[in-house]
Structure 1
Amino acid sequence: MIGVLSEVVDRRAGLITVSGHLTSSGADLVRGTADRLRDAGHARVVLDLRGVGAVDVDGRAVLRELHRAFRVDGGELLIRS
């Protein structure tokens, strides 16, 4: 059974730990969290996906776009999987 998406945010470290099934809706939630961390001054945000059981095609596309957006803005999105 694939779990519901959840995220735990460490605002001090700029770390988002994600678990469950990552769909496009879930990836949008993660994108919003990453954007808020960036807006709070984190040039580098770490996205830990080691607890994610599955990522669908649309969720993967959202993450690619988020990675690109960070790079374009001079930031860095580090994805652990």
Structure 2
Amino acid sequence: MTGVLSEVVDRRAGLITVSGHLTSSGADLVRGTADQLRGDGHVRVVLDLRGVAAADVDGLAALRELHHDFRVDGGELLIRS
């Protein structure tokens, strides 16, 4: 389906696998999940975007901001694409 974003979370590994179309709304979903993993004690979170079919400018900007926020807080957001 076009416009739909989904994520699969491996809480033990700190891995978020994303597929579909990344928009700012989808990036907000990913941010919430990443923040929850960080709150659960993961200093490093892996974001796997290899299943993302398309991304808009706002979605990508939100991920850049999330990456920056992790660094500022002393964490690491590893993005696979």
TM-score (normalizing by structure 1): 0.97
Identity %: 86
Displacement after TM superposition at 1:52 (Å): 0.1
Please give the root-mean-square deviation of Cα atoms over the aligned residues, in Å: 1.0
User: What pairs with 1:1-81 in structure 2 (closer than 5 Å)?
Assistant: 2=2, 4-81=4-81
Residue 64 of structure 1: SS of its match in structure 2? helix
Superposed CA offset, 1:11-65 (max 9, x none) = 0000000000000000000000000000000000000000000110000010000
> Matched residues in 2 for 1:54 and 1:26: separation?
12
Unaligned regions of 5+ residues in structure 2, if any? none
TM-score (normalizing by structure 2): 0.97
Unaligned regions of 5+ residues in structure 1, if any? none
